[in-house]
């Protein structure tokens, strides 16, 4: 990972991958793992028919692999509570000039 970017990974998130599926097709998550990350919060006010609505998104940058099926607990949230987890909306993989993976950028 680029050293200038790596020094920004000062927060900790928890990430769990889908380990299997139950007989009914429900996802079964593996154990959450702590991952160093940079988390940026972005808030927008969106006009609606009833006034306006606030929308909050999170950009997560990490050098650990994250997939679209993973569950992420943002800093300060309890990884033992599945209701606190969020699923990525978009995952970007960024490579170095020689093709190696440099980092992941995740939009939640």
pLDDT at 107 > cutoff 90: yes
- Quick: pLDDT tens for 12-66: 999 999 899 889 988 889 999 999 999 999 988 877 788 778 888 999 999 999 9
Q: What is the pTM of this model?
A: 0.84
pLDDT at 74 > cutoff 90: yes
pLDDT at 86 > cutoff 90: yes
Write down the pLDDT at residue 92: 96
Write down the pLDDT at residue 55: 86
CA dihedral 43, 46, 52, 57 (to 10 degrees): -30
Write down the pLDDT at residue 50: 81
Write down the pLDDT at residue 11: 97
């Amino acid at each position: 990972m680029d050293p200038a970017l790596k020094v920004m990974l000062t927060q900790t998130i928890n990430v769990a991958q889908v380990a299997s599926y139950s007989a009914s097709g429900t996802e079964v998550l593996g154990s959450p793992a702590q991952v160093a990350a940079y988390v940026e919060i972005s808030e927008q006010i969106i006009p609606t028919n009833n006034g306006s609505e606030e929308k909050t998104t999170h950009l997560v940058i990490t050098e650990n692999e994250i997939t679209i099926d993973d569950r992420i607990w943002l800093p300060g949230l309890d990884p033992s509570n599945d209701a606190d987890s969020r699923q990525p909306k978009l995952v970007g993989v960024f490579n170095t000039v020689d093709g190696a993976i440099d980092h992941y950028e995740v939009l939640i």
